[in-house]
Amino acid sequence: MHEFGAGEGNSIRVLLVDDEKNVRLALRRLLNAYPDIDVVGEASNGAEAVARVAELDPDVVLMDYRMVPTNGLAATRTIKRRRDPPRVVLLTIVAGIESDASASGVDALLLKGCPKEALLDSIRGASGVV
Protein backbone atom coordinates (compact mmCIF):
# COMPACT_ATOMS: atom_id res chain seq x y z
CA MET A 1 0.00 0.00 0.00
CA HIS A 2 1.18 3.51 -0.73
CA GLU A 3 2.27 5.81 2.06
CA PHE A 4 0.40 9.08 2.22
CA GLY A 5 -0.81 11.65 4.66
CA ALA A 6 -2.57 14.94 4.83
CA GLY A 7 -0.29 17.85 4.12
CA GLU A 8 2.49 15.67 2.68
CA GLY A 9 1.57 16.26 -0.95
CA ASN A 10 0.49 12.67 -1.45
CA SER A 11 -3.02 11.62 -2.34
CA ILE A 12 -5.32 8.70 -1.61
CA ARG A 13 -5.26 6.40 -4.64
CA VAL A 14 -8.84 5.25 -5.41
CA LEU A 15 -10.13 2.56 -7.76
CA LEU A 16 -13.79 3.01 -8.81
CA VAL A 17 -15.80 -0.17 -9.35
CA ASP A 18 -19.38 -0.04 -10.63
CA ASP A 19 -21.16 -1.76 -13.50
CA GLU A 20 -22.82 1.51 -14.52
CA LYS A 21 -20.53 3.74 -16.56
CA ASN A 22 -22.48 6.90 -15.63
CA VAL A 23 -22.06 6.15 -11.92
CA ARG A 24 -18.30 5.75 -12.39
CA LEU A 25 -18.20 9.01 -14.35
CA ALA A 26 -20.13 10.90 -11.66
CA LEU A 27 -17.92 9.50 -8.91
CA ARG A 28 -14.77 10.37 -10.85
CA ARG A 29 -15.97 13.94 -11.39
CA LEU A 30 -16.83 14.31 -7.72
CA LEU A 31 -13.60 12.83 -6.38
CA ASN A 32 -11.34 14.62 -8.87
CA ALA A 33 -12.45 17.92 -7.31
CA TYR A 34 -10.44 17.08 -4.17
CA PRO A 35 -6.63 17.35 -4.31
CA ASP A 36 -6.14 14.66 -1.65
CA ILE A 37 -7.92 12.02 -3.76
CA ASP A 38 -6.55 10.55 -7.00
CA VAL A 39 -8.81 8.25 -9.04
CA VAL A 40 -6.24 5.86 -10.52
CA GLY A 41 -8.61 3.60 -12.44
CA GLU A 42 -12.00 2.02 -12.97
CA ALA A 43 -13.52 -1.43 -13.25
CA SER A 44 -16.99 -2.47 -14.39
CA ASN A 45 -17.36 -5.67 -12.35
CA GLY A 46 -15.84 -7.56 -9.45
CA ALA A 47 -13.58 -9.81 -11.54
CA GLU A 48 -12.17 -6.77 -13.34
CA ALA A 49 -11.72 -5.06 -9.96
CA VAL A 50 -9.53 -7.89 -8.71
CA ALA A 51 -7.30 -7.57 -11.79
CA ARG A 52 -7.16 -3.76 -11.54
CA VAL A 53 -6.18 -3.92 -7.86
CA ALA A 54 -3.22 -6.14 -8.78
CA GLU A 55 -2.27 -3.75 -11.60
CA LEU A 56 -2.82 -0.37 -9.91
CA ASP A 57 -2.24 -1.03 -6.18
CA PRO A 58 -4.86 1.49 -4.96
CA ASP A 59 -5.18 2.58 -1.35
CA VAL A 60 -8.99 2.42 -1.42
CA VAL A 61 -11.45 0.56 -3.64
CA LEU A 62 -14.85 2.21 -3.95
CA MET A 63 -16.88 -0.91 -4.77
CA ASP A 64 -20.47 -1.39 -5.92
CA TYR A 65 -22.33 -4.30 -4.31
CA ARG A 66 -24.55 -5.56 -7.14
CA MET A 67 -22.54 -6.55 -10.23
CA VAL A 68 -22.32 -9.62 -12.46
CA PRO A 69 -20.63 -11.98 -12.90
CA THR A 70 -18.74 -11.21 -9.66
CA ASN A 71 -20.45 -9.03 -7.06
CA GLY A 72 -18.73 -6.59 -4.72
CA LEU A 73 -18.61 -8.93 -1.73
CA ALA A 74 -17.02 -11.80 -3.68
CA ALA A 75 -14.49 -9.40 -5.19
CA THR A 76 -13.73 -7.96 -1.75
CA ARG A 77 -13.05 -11.44 -0.32
CA THR A 78 -10.55 -12.08 -3.13
CA ILE A 79 -8.94 -8.65 -2.82
CA LYS A 80 -8.57 -9.00 0.95
CA ARG A 81 -6.51 -12.18 0.48
CA ARG A 82 -3.72 -10.09 -1.06
CA ARG A 83 -0.56 -9.62 0.99
CA ASP A 84 -1.15 -5.88 1.49
CA PRO A 85 -4.78 -5.31 0.48
CA PRO A 86 -6.39 -1.95 -0.11
CA ARG A 87 -9.27 -0.76 2.01
CA VAL A 88 -12.72 -1.35 0.52
CA VAL A 89 -15.65 1.06 0.78
CA LEU A 90 -18.81 -0.68 -0.43
CA LEU A 91 -21.62 1.33 -2.04
CA THR A 92 -25.06 -0.24 -2.21
CA ILE A 93 -28.76 0.38 -2.58
CA VAL A 94 -29.46 -2.82 -0.64
CA ALA A 95 -30.21 -2.46 3.07
CA GLY A 96 -29.40 -5.12 5.64
CA ILE A 97 -26.12 -6.46 4.26
CA GLU A 98 -23.90 -5.14 7.06
CA SER A 99 -23.12 -8.59 8.46
CA ASP A 100 -22.26 -10.08 5.05
CA ALA A 101 -20.20 -7.00 4.17
CA SER A 102 -18.24 -7.20 7.40
CA ALA A 103 -17.61 -10.93 6.99
CA SER A 104 -16.30 -10.24 3.48
CA GLY A 105 -13.74 -7.73 4.73
CA VAL A 106 -15.47 -4.49 3.76
CA ASP A 107 -13.95 -1.56 5.68
CA ALA A 108 -16.90 0.83 5.27
CA LEU A 109 -20.44 0.53 3.93
CA LEU A 110 -22.47 3.37 2.45
CA LEU A 111 -25.83 3.64 0.77
CA LYS A 112 -25.73 5.04 -2.74
CA GLY A 113 -27.03 8.58 -2.74
CA CYS A 114 -25.45 9.39 0.61
CA PRO A 115 -24.20 12.96 1.09
CA LYS A 116 -20.86 13.60 -0.59
CA GLU A 117 -19.35 14.43 2.79
CA ALA A 118 -20.14 10.91 4.03
CA LEU A 119 -18.49 9.43 0.93
CA LEU A 120 -15.39 11.59 1.32
CA ASP A 121 -15.20 10.86 5.04
CA SER A 122 -15.43 7.12 4.37
CA ILE A 123 -12.66 7.19 1.78
CA ARG A 124 -10.43 9.30 3.98
CA GLY A 125 -11.28 7.29 7.10
CA ALA A 126 -10.67 3.95 5.40
CA SER A 127 -7.30 5.19 4.17
CA GLY A 128 -6.31 6.47 7.60
CA VAL A 129 -6.47 10.13 6.60
CA VAL A 130 -9.05 12.03 8.60
47, 17, 14, 13: which is closest to 112 by C-alpha? 17
Is 30 domain-assigned? yes
Is 19 domain-assigned? yes
Is 5 domain-assigned? no
* CB-CB contact of 53 with 79 (8 Å): yes
pLDDT for the residue numbered 130 = 61
Distance from the first to the final alpha carbon of the chain? 17
Domain of 69: which CATH number?
3.40.50.2300
Q: At residue 90, does pLDDT exceed 60?
A: yes
Is 7 domain-assigned? no
pLDDT in tens, 96-112: 888 888 889 999 999 99
Is 64 domain-assigned? yes
Is 1 domain-assigned? no
Is 87 domain-assigned? yes
Q: What domain range is 85 assigned to?
A: 12-127
Is 2 domain-assigned? no
pLDDT in tens, 1-51: 444 343 345 899 999 999 999 999 999 999 999 999 999 999 999 999 999
pLDDT in tens, 38-85: 999 999 999 999 999 999 999 999 999 998 888 999 999 999 999 999
Q: What angle do CA 10, 84, 15 make, to 5 degrees?
A: 55
> Residue 52 — φ and ψ, nearest 5°?
-70, -35
Q: Domain count of the chain?
A: 1
pLDDT for the residue numbered 99 = 87
